[in-house]
Amino acid sequence: MTMTAISCIQLEEIDVSHGHVQAISGFSLSIQKGQFATVLGPNGAGKSTLLKSIIGLVPPRAGKIIFEDQEIQRSSPNQIARQGISLVPEGRRIFQGHTVEENLLLGGYLIRRNAKLLSETLDYVFELFPILADRRKQLGGTLSGGEAQMLAIARALMVRPRLLLLDEPSLGLAPQIVVEILGHLRNLNEVEGLTILLVEQTAALALEYSSYAILMSQGKIVVEGSPAEMKTHEEVTRVYFGS
């Protein structure tokens, strides 16, 4: 008996603009529940705009975004977060003057009135990232780059999302730290069952951890497929591997 894939999020012919500049045009994509999908592409391809359109920061001018059978393209970022989508922004953007624990509690603003759930969720992310438990009273601004990125991910998890969006989490990090971060993400995907949509420039590493990938250019999908297919595709190797 063949199992039917269950859709987590679908984008149907969306157009997204920044002012008079159209960043994404006629874009369609379906991410299945439990997938670890990676979006590749050169600078200016529309990757970050794609994530911002899903989370409601840059709503599409046309088309539909359907999350778990509910249209969300006209919902506010707060409403979308409540429905189960969380974003780890580019550059981490942690509160440097607040402790690790305070950053996490601020990330749990949607559940702040439920003290028991908030405490349980804090314990949950500390279990996922033990180094943060060790640093819980340390100021965010004193963390290493890798620790700060873990904090940014943990903060996004404080709302218990079912879809996690990440924008260039490897930015500014040493390769061995990137491997560690991607390992945490794979654990969240495989063990916790979290659906992940990752925007990333480090194609070779990202494809090692993904279950699905797409290559974007000029606001459109150029090619999509399994990591194995992407690694050998002519356009992907041309853009990322110089051949």
Reported in sequence order, the residue ranges of the chain that DSSP labels E, i.e. its strands, are: 7-18, 21-32, 36-40, 62-67, 70-71, 85-88, 163-167, 195-199, 212-217, 220-225
- Which residue type is seen at 127? E
Model confidence pLDDT, tens digit, residues 145-201: 999 999 999 999 999 999 999 999 988 888 899 999 999 999 999 999 999 999 988
48 part of a folded domain: yes
pTM above 0.85, yes or no: yes
Torsion of CA 12, 209, 199, 232, to 10 degrees: -80
pLDDT at 140: 94
Residue 1 has pLDDT above 50, yes or no: no
Q: Tokens 């700060």 identify what position? A: 148
CA-based R_g, the chain, Å: 18
User: Other CB atoms closer than 10 Å to residue 174's CB: what's the count?
Assistant: 12
Q: At what angle do helices 175-190 and 115-128 cross, to 10 degrees?
A: 130
2 part of a folded domain: no
Euclidean distance between CA atoms 76 and 78, whole angstroms? 5
The token duo for 221 is 């999908």
The token duo for 170 is 């490897």
Residue 119 has pLDDT above 50, yes or no: yes
Q: What is the DSSP string of 73-99?
A: TTS-HHHHHHHTEEEE-TT----TTSB
Euclidean distance between CA atoms 207 and 111, whole angstroms? 34
∠ CA 3-11-68, nearest 5°, is 50
Model confidence pLDDT, tens digit, residues 41-50: 888 889 999 9
Residue 32: which CATH number?
3.40.50.300
Residue 15 has pLDDT above 80, yes or no: yes
Q: Structural domain of residue 220, as residue ranges?
A: 7-241
Model confidence pLDDT, tens digit, residues 127-143: 999 999 999 999 999 99
Domain count of the fold of the chain: 1
1 part of a folded domain: no
DSSP 210: -
Mean pLDDT of 78-102: 93
187 part of a folded domain: yes
pLDDT at 2: 45
149 part of a folded domain: yes
Q: Tokens 């709302």 identify what position? A: 159
Average pLDDT of the chain is 91
Model confidence pLDDT, tens digit, residues 50-77: 999 999 999 999 999 999 999 999 999 9
Percentage of the chain beyond pLDDT 90 is 72
Model confidence pLDDT, tens digit, residues 197-239: 999 888 888 899 999 999 998 899 999 999 988 888 888 777 7
DSSP 139: B
- Maximum Cα–Cα distance for the chain, whole Å? 55
124 part of a folded domain: yes
Q: Tokens 């679908």 identify what position? A: 10
